[in-house]
Amino acid sequence: MEQVKYSVDQLINEDNKFLEEKYVKAYYNAEMNLIGIVWEGIFNKDQYMKLFDDVLDYARSHKTVGVYTDIRKQGVVPVEARKYFEKVIAPESGRMGIEKTGVVSDASPFKKYYLNTLIKVVGRPAKICNEPQDAIDYLMS
């Protein structure tokens, strides 16, 4: 049986958007069972934490097996927000069946350090990609 090839545009498009703030947009594709998060700027600790709370609330009623996140334009994640993600969001998403994460990132050493630390702490499958399509391919494999 031939594997279906999915594209980024099938996830990240206006019809799939379920959340929008000036610093982030979130999308869902029911065929792919993926949530997509595209960061677009600076945010504070409470905004970061609320975004992930809202995404998990959405995922509770929409089968989700993976998360695509594009952090190339993301602001700095406050330490408290990162700890909240590690201690609350990551464990809860695992219990909900969200199996892996595909991250699109630039070559920023700070972001790579943050991501590698987060991946190590969370302990679930994740891949850092330079290209959006590579992240989709990873999530759909």
Burial of 4 (0-12, 13-18, 19+ CB in 10 A): exposed
- The answer to whether the beta carbons of residues 60 and 52 sit under 8 Å apart is no
Topology of the domain comprising 8-140: Transcription Regulator spoIIAA (3.30.750)
Q: What is the pLDDT of residues 103-135, one digit of tens each?
A: 999 878 878 888 888 888 888 899 999 999 999
Please report the beta strands in 55-116, taking only residues with DSSP state E, as ranges in sequence order: 66-70, 100-104
Q: What is the mean pLDDT of the chain?
A: 94
* Rounded Cα gap, residues 37 and 17, in angstroms: 10
Q: In what order do the strands lie in the sheet with 34-39?
A: 17-21, 24-29, 34-39, 66-70, 100-104, 126-129
Model's pTM, two decimal places?
Answer: 0.94
Domain ranges of the chain: 8-140
Q: What is the pLDDT of residues 40-64, one digit of tens each?
A: 999 999 999 999 999 999 999 999 9
Single-letter amino acid code for the residue at 122: V
